[in-house]
Amino acid sequence: MSINRHEPSPARLCSLVDTPTPFAPVDFPSPASNPAHPKLVLPIHEQQTNQSNADFSMATSSAASLAKRSFPFIALFSLAYLLLTKRRILPASPSSSFSSEPSSSPPTIDDPNSQVEFDFAPFLRLYKSGRVERRVVPAVVPASPSAAPGGAASFDVVLDPLTGLAARLYFPVLPNAAAGDGDPEPKLPILVYFHGGAFVVESAFSPTYHRYLDLLVARARIVAVSVEYRLAPEHPLPAAYDDAWAALRWAAANARPGKFLARYGDPGRIFLAGVSAGGNIAHNAALRVGNEGVRVAGLVLQNPYFWGKEPVAGETRDAGVRGRLESTWGFVCAGAYGIDHPYVNPMGGTGEGEWGRGMGCGRVMVTVAEDDVFRARGVAYAEGLRRSGFAGEVELYETRGEWHAYFLTKLDSTKAMKEIDAVIAFINRP
């Protein structure tokens, strides 16, 4: 085993599949043969006409551009808040009930609808009444069921009608698709992907993640399942972890011979991946894979969200930053898990132990960015995994001079494309 370094080197969805029970295998039409199948498109988009497609494409581009411009501001605002905030704010009680509806009466000084329980700036506020005021709400763009050869087609599906768990499926449109030459051969890797957003914001359907997955799938020639998991505080952890496991089970079930994903994807090459909080979710899913016997080929953690009570080598010792990250972790899990719980600190307080022995995959890739507050923890994770009893390969990729999840907003930059190509090489490696 080795560590290789490179530098910089909606929820308005209806049930769109006829599945009487969660995780039941689903038969879909071919994206190439029937690219506009109405059961695979969000209902709000079903009434679009061909005439409006050009206008919609322009709107999508504008939304993506807006997200690209605003994302660095959000990241910098969050960092400034971490550095300046010294007061400790207690997390919500696990028994809190939440509402996203505004108060119907003018607030008073004793009104719990106006008393802040937790301020997760700049994303949201939780009031003592349980009301959630979301201040950052990403735009939603539709899937792209039609694409030219060399691009990627996408469809939205509900994976579990009981919880509302949904996903956007991506398929590369290969050159032979236009000629009607049938399914790809050999079969393609299947990537189950989890978006970032501190467990409280963002969406698999946002312009940011649609653009990223669309490019990744087309460039890598892989199949992707981008998961729309439930967010805190309305659904505190472990809800996102449960959704991740459900999505992986769904992908595995539908990759069996004779099922839709198996027409395009290789069930022996299922990968888990995610950025930031999504990387944390992917890691915890991989550990569950090891305990429950589902087969996963590899794991990609991009700038993963891990933390702990004591700083690791190279990590900030600023008490305000550390206290704020600890309190926000308590918020997203409703106080159920401490900051050294394996969910957020896989290495534990000592950084040693055999925590990686149960990792259910053959290889792991960790990417970090030099100016990211989570960089040192990502490096420690990769190095600790090697000592933890993990029998597979560990690859560490570092980008100099960049901040957290920079590749999402600098997708066309040289550094971003190098990192994306490194991820592609890792996934497509035999």
Q: Which of the residues are catalytic?
A: 276, 372, 404
Helix (H) or strand (E) holding 363: strand 363-369
State how far the Cα of 138 lies from the Cα of 48, in Å rounded to an integer.
Answer: 22
* Cα 90 → chain centroid: 26
What is the DSSP secondary-structure string of 325-353?
Answer: HHHHHHHHTTT-S-TTSTTT-TTTTTS-S
Strands annotated E in 130-250 = 132-134, 152-160, 165-172, 188-194, 223-228
Token reading at 100: 């996203």
What is the DSSP secondary-structure string of 270-335?
Answer: EEEEEETHHHHHHHHHHHHHHHHT----EEEEES-----SSPPTT----HHHHHHHHHHHHHHTTT
* Cα 184 → chain centroid: 27
State how far the Cα of 360 lies from the Cα of 366, in Å rounded to an integer.
Answer: 16
Residues 6 or more apart whose CB falls under 8 angstroms from that of 302 comprise 273, 274, 275, 276, 278, 279, 367, 405, 407, 419, 423
